[in-house]
């Protein structure tokens, strides 16, 4: 499918989706949110999806402020829902998702990143939720997902002040997995993606679901789900292949069955 504001490189192992509005620092308008949702759906049979931003300066500098200026409450609600649909989809698909944060990840941009399974940042990255500066709250899940990553105290400081953090500080507070030189960022994300793509597909997809769903459950209920998943995987070819390969001292060849 042809897109206007995003670039999509689809591949069974690692797909890459790039937000491509560099003149607006890749800000997310409704059209881009719909395109991203469509593209993520299309790539959901890839083992890994990397999300990044075009140009030298930004991953995504937020929801599109120009589009929001004339909105009333009803349109704002619909706009917020577009962001929630996209971020929930990113969490629900079996693919592992990696945000390659190559510059500003502000507002909706950080909210997009924190919906991903991993975040790698370039040294020039700046991450924050500056929405209160505009008189609004975060609208694509930032008040919930940021808290879960960095804890209440740090999340509230970032949300109430609107201050952003640089890549080093983001690493210190557990907001990114690692900080990488800018020119190496995509290569680094792809090498992490390659590692994931070589592992058992059913196992990785199950593990993602267990982590995501378990978060909202009691520890006991979540552990019960883990035990069930563990047992179910014993009936798969991948499990037989993975364990046989170990015993035979050779790399496993998984088929996802």
| Residue range at the interface with ligand CAA (CB under 6 A); choices 8-16, 107-115, 182-190, 227-235 | 107-115
Residues 6+ apart with CB under 8 A from 255: 237, 238, 241
> What is the rounded distance in angstroms from the CA atom of residue 69 to the CA atom of residue 96?
35
**Smallest separation (angstroms) from ligand CAA to the CB of 82:** 9
The CA distances from residue 192 to 45, 101, 151, in Å, are 18, 15, 26
Q: Binding string, 28-67, against ligand CAA, x = CB under 6 A?
A: ---------------------------------xxxxxx-
Told to check if 201 binds ligand CAA by CB under 6 A, we report: no
Main-chain dihedrals φ then ψ at residue 203, nearest 5 degrees:
-65, -45
> What is the rounded distance in angstroms from the CA atom of residue 9 to the CA atom of residue 20?
13
111 as an active site residue: the answer is yes
User: Rule CB under 6 A: which of 13-32 touch ligand CAA?
Assistant: 24-25, 27
Residue of 56, 22, 15, 12 whose CA lies nearest to 39: 15
Active-site hit among 9, 111, 172, 212: 111
Nearer of residues 27 and 50 to ligand CAA, judged by Cβ:
27
Catalytic residue list: 111, 131
Residues in contact with ligand CAA by the rule CB under 6 A:
24-25, 27, 61-66, 83, 104, 106-108, 111, 130-131, 134, 138-140, 142
């Amino acid at each position: 499918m042809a897109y206007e504001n995003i670039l999509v490189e689809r591949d069974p192992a690692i797909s890459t989706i790039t937000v491509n509005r560099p003149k607006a620092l890749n800000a997310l308008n409704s059209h881009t949110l719909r395109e991203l949702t469509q593209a993520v759906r299309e790539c959901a049979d890839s083992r890994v999806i990397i999300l990044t931003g075009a140009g030298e300066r930004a991953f995504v500098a937020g929801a599109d402020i120009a589009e929001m200026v004339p909105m009333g409450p009803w349109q704002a609600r619909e706009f917020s829902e577009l962001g929630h649909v996209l971020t929930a989809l990113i969490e629900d698909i079996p693919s592992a998702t990696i945000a390659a944060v190559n510059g500003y990840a502000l507002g909706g941009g950080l909210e997009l990143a924190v919906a991903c399974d991993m975040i790698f940042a370039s040294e020039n990255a700046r991450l924050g939720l500056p929405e209160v500066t505009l008189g609004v709250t975060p609208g694509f899940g930032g008040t919930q997902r940021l808290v879960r990553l960095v804890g209440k105290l740090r999340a509230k400081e970032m949300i109430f002040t609107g201050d952003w953090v640089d890549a080093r500080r983001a690493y210190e507070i557990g907001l990114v997995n690692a900080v990488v030189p800018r020119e190496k960022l995509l290569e680094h994300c792809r090498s992490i993606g390659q590692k994931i793509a070589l592992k058992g597909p059913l196992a990785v997809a199950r593990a993602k679901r267990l982590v995501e769903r378990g978060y909202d459950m009691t520890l006991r209920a979540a552990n019960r789900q883990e035990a069930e998943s563990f047992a179910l995987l014993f009936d798969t070819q991948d499990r037989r292949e993975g364990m046989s390969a170990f015993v035979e001292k050779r790399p496993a060849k998984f088929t996802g069955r």
